[in-house]
Structure 1
Amino acid sequence: MNYRKKINTRRPQPNKRAASTLSPHVLLRHAEIAGGTPASYVSEQSYADMDLHPALKSNLLKKGYKKPTEIQEKTIENLVHGHNMIGVASTGTGKTGAFLIPIVQQLLTTDNTTYLIVVPTRELALQVREEFDELSRGLRFSATCFIGGTSVGKDLVKARKKSHLIVGTPGRLIDMINQRALSLKGITGLVLDEFDRMLDMGFVNDVKTIVSLMHSRKQTMLFSATVKPSQEALIRGLVENPIKITASSGAESSNNVKQSMIKIRDGENKFDVLYNLLREDSFKKVILFAETKRTVDKINKQLIKTGINSDVIHGNKSQNYRSKAIQSFKSGKIRVLVATDVASRGIDVDNVTHVINYQIPQTLDSYIHRIGRTGRAGKTGMAYTFIN
C-alpha cells in the first residue's frame, strides 16, 4: 500500500465521560434491577439442526457444544447468509461463537474469503484466536494475531504469511499498516467486537481508519454489550444497512450472578475483611478488581504473604507475563487473579466462583463487565463490592 503520510499513531486516551466513581447507591440500585438473559434459557434447536458444514458441526460437538446460546440462535443464520449485523448481548452469553461459527462456515463454503476481527484488549484477541483454532481444527485455515506487548519484529514476519483470519487490537493493527506490512484491501469481512469498550478506550479514530482501508469489505458485524443512542450515528457510518439483534440488554447483568455489598466499618481493615472471605471454602476461583496498578500489586503481595496463591495482570505487565498468569489461573495453579479493568473483558475462564470489587469501579459499564467474569455459560456466581 502506498501512503503519502503515515496514519496517526498517537495512542488514544480513555473516554472520560464518567470522571467520578460510582456511588454505592447506584450499584445497589443496579443490583435490584439486574436482569439479562435468564439462566433457564434453552434454545429450541441444536447445532445439528442448523445448515452448517459437517466438519464445523463435528468440531462444535468435540468442544461439547450442543445448543446455541440466545445471541447465537438469533444471529448465525443471518450472518451465514452474509448480512451486516449489530449484535447486542450481555457479557458471557456467547458473542464470540456468534461471529466465529458463521466465519468458519463461510471459509468452508465460499472462495476468496478472509476476515479481520478487531478487539479492544490483548486478552480478548488471544481468546478469539484460540476459539477460532478449535472451531477450525483439521480444516487447514490459518489465523494471525497482532497485539501490543509482543515483538514487532515477529509480527512483521507473521504479516508476510497468508491468513484466512486476522485478529488484532487497534493500536498494533495501525502499527502494522503504517509499516506497510499489513494490507487490508483484500479482506472481505470485518468484525468489531466489544465495540463499546473500544469507544471507552479511545480507539474510535483507529477503528474508522481501519474500516476506511477495507476496500473489498462485503460484510460487517459489530458486537457489543451496550449500544447507546449517542453512538448510533457513528455505528451507521461503520455498518451499512445492518440487521440489529438484541438477545439481552447490555445495561443489565445476568441473573446468574448474585450481587452483594460488603460495608467496611470505621476502624475495620479492608484487607482483613478480604482475607477472611478468601479463607472460606466456597471461594475456589476468584477475580479481584482494583482501580490502580499500584493497588493491584500491593494486594497481591499481601495475599502471597498470607499463603494465598495469587498473581496479577495489569497494563504494566508484559503480554508474556499476563498470558502466563491467566493460564495459571485457568489451570488452578493460582486461586486468585488480581487485576485492573484490563481483565473485565476478554478473559473467559471456566468456573470463576467469585468476583470481588475491592474498589468501586468508575462506571456502571465497568461494574457490569467485571461481574460478568462469573456466572457464565449458565452457571451461577457471586459478586461482592466493598464500600466504605
Structure 2
Amino acid sequence: MEAAIVGQRQKSDDESGGDGNNKDSNSIAPSAIAINSKKKQTTKDIVTTQGAQFISESLIGETQTKDLDKPSAVHQRGIVPLCNGLDIIQQSLFGTTVTLCCGILQRLDYASTECQALVLVPTHDLAHETQNVIGVLGQFLSAKAHAFCGGTSAHEDQQILSTGVQVAVGTPCHVLGMLQGRALCPDHIRMFVLDEADEVLRGFKDQIHGIIQFLPTKTQFGFFSASMSHEALEMCRKYMNKPVEIIVPRDEELEGINVKQFYVNVEKEDCKLDKLCGLFDTMEITRSIIFVNTRHHAKSLTEKIRGKGYTVSAIHGGIHQRARDKAVQEFQSGSSRILITTDLRGIDVLRAPAAIFYDLPTQPVCYLRHVQSGQHGRKGVAISFITSTDERVFSTIQKFCNTQIEELPSNVADLL
C-alpha cells in the first residue's frame, strides 16, 4: 500500500535563505528525492532513489553496525526531505527516532559548537533515549547531544551548553524555562523537532507555542508521531512552511512484523515472577527482552531475577550512559541472556527471539513497538502476562494490532 505524501515543494532560495548558486553543503540534490509538486509520491518513488547515498560516509560508518546501511522505506521517506531542509510531518509507528536523528546529524555544521537543533519529547525517559541514539549514530561525527529534563538550574544548563552541545533534547516545560532564562540561546538553531508530536501538542500546546516564538524565522521544522489527531495536524501545518506530509498506513507497517504473539493468564501480580522463571526453564530461551512500565519496577525485578540465579542486565532512562553501554554490551555478547527495560527505541541492535511483557503497556502503540524491537524482520515470539486488571487494555491492543492473541501453548519452545 502506498504512503500518502502531500504538500511537497522545496523552499525557494528566498524562503530558505539560500543562494541559487550556493547550496547548503549538507543538502541533497533535488533529484535524490524526486520531488514533484504536481503528483503525490508513492512508496516506490522514494525507496528506489539513492538508498543510503543521502547519508554522509561518516554516518554510514556507524549505521552499518546498526543495520541501517540500507535504510528502510520508513527511514528514507523522512530522512531525505529532512536532509534537503524541508519541513516535514511524518506519522508512522516505527523508525521515527532514527529518522529524525539521522536528519539532524546530516544537517549539523560540525565546525560550530553552538546549539543548532532542538528536539522536544513528552517524557524524561524518551529524552534520554533520543540523546543516546544521537550519540551512537553520531559517534564518528563527534556530534554532541544532551538531554535537558529538569533537576538542574539555569546556570548548570548554561554550563553544559557551553561545552559544545549541538543538539538539545528536552521536555517542553524545562526547555521553555531555559529559553526564558536565557540559558539556551536560540540564535543558531536551524532545526526544531517534535517526537511523539501528538502527545506533546496535546499536553504542552502553550509551551510549544512559547518556544516557537524564540526560534529564528528560517528554522526547519520536523514533527513525528505514531498517531496524529486532526487538531494536532492543523497545528503542525500552522507553524510550518508547506510541509512534506508522510502518512505511513498502519497495515503496511504491520506486514513487516514476523512475531508470534501469545498471552499468559496470571492470577495476581505476585505470581508473575514464578511464571517468568518457569518460562526460562521450559522454553530454554537463549535471550529475552523483558518490558516493564517504570524505572522502579525495572530495578526491583532485576534484583529479584538475579536472586533466582539468572544473569540479567537492565537499561532505562535513569541510568548513566556508561552503565547503559555496559548492559547493552553484556546482552550483545551473551554474558547476560536477559535484558529488562522500560523502553527500547531508535536502534534495533538488541536482537532477541523473545519479548516478554511483564507489565502490559498502557498504550497499544508502545506494545507494537516493543513487539517489533529486537526482531528486525526475523522470527520471534512475544508473550504478555495478563491479570484481571489488564483485560480492557489487552482488548484495545488486539484491536489496534488487528490480531487475535492466543493463549501460550505448551509447545511454545518449538516456535523459537
TM-score with structure 2 length normalisation?
0.66
CA contact 1:118–1:191 (8 Å) conserved in 2: yes
CA contact 2:258–2:377 (8 Å) conserved in 1: yes
Equivalent positions of 1:350-369 (< 5 A) are: 350-369=350-369
Question: How far apart, in 2, do the equivalents of 1:319 and 1:209 lie?
Answer: 31
CA contact 1:277–1:283 (8 Å) conserved in 2: no
Figure out how many residues of one structure are paired with residues of the other and give that number: 332
CA contact 1:86–1:223 (8 Å) conserved in 2: yes
Residue 75 of structure 2, aligned match among 49, 72, 96: 72
Question: How far apart, in 2, do the equivalents of 1:56 and 1:360 lie?
Answer: 35
Equivalent positions of 1:331-370 (< 5 A) are: 331-332=330-331, 333-340=335-342, 343=343, 345=345, 349-370=349-370
- Seq. identity, %: 23
Q: Does 1:387 align with 2:389?
A: no
Provide the residue aligned with 1:275 in structure 2.
Answer: 277
Spell out, residue by residue over 1:143-172, the C-alpha distance to the aligned partner (whole angstroms, 9 max, x if none): 231333776565331222455433334344
Equivalent positions of 1:1-388 (< 5 A) are: 43-44=47-48, 47=51, 50=53, 60=63, 65-91=68-94, 93=95, 95-107=96-108, 114-120=116-122, 121-134=126-139, 137-138=140-141, 142-148=143-149, 152=153, 154-198=156-200, 202-249=203-250, 253=254, 254-264=256-266, 269-279=271-281, 280-290=283-293, 295-312=297-314, 318-320=318-320, 324-325=323-324, 327-332=326-331, 333-340=335-342, 343=343, 345=345, 349-375=349-375, 377-388=376-387
Spell out, residue by residue over 1:17-60, the C-alpha distance to the aligned partner (whole angstroms, 9 max, x if none): xxxxxxxxxxxxxxxxxxxxxxxxx9545645x45655555665
Runs of 5+ consecutive residues of structure 1 not aligned to the other structure: 1-41
CA contact 1:226–1:250 (8 Å) conserved in 2: no
Which SS does the other structure have where 1:68 is aligned?
Answer: coil
Bigger proportion of residues as helix: 2
Distance 1:192 1:286, change over 3 A: same
Distance 1:51 1:270, change over 3 A: closer
Shift of 1:102: 3.7
Question: How far apart, in 2, do the equivalents of 1:256 and 1:190 lie?
Answer: 35
The one-letter amino acid paired with 2:382 is A
Which SS does the other structure have where 1:270 is aligned?
Answer: helix
Shift of 1:198: 3.5
Shift of 1:86: 0.8
Spell out, residue by residue over 1:211-263, the C-alpha distance to the aligned partner (whole angstroms, 9 max, x if none): 22213343111112222334323323343421111334299655233211112
Question: How far apart, in 2, do the equivalents of 1:228 and 1:181 lie?
Answer: 33
- CA-atom RMSD in angstroms: 3.9
Shift of 1:88: 1.9
Spell out, residue by residue over 1:100-136, the C-alpha distance to the aligned partner (whole angstroms, 9 max, x if none): 44434434699999322223423323223214423xx
Question: How far apart, in 1, do the equivalents of 2:301 and 2:107 lie?
Answer: 46
Question: How far apart, in 2, do the equivalents of 1:349 and 1:62 lie?
Answer: 8
Q: Which protein, 1 or 2, shows the higher relative CO under an 8 Å CA cutoff with sep ≥ 6? A: 1
Shift of 1:297: 4.7
Which SS does the other structure have where 1:269 is aligned?
Answer: helix
CA contact 1:374–1:380 (8 Å) conserved in 2: no
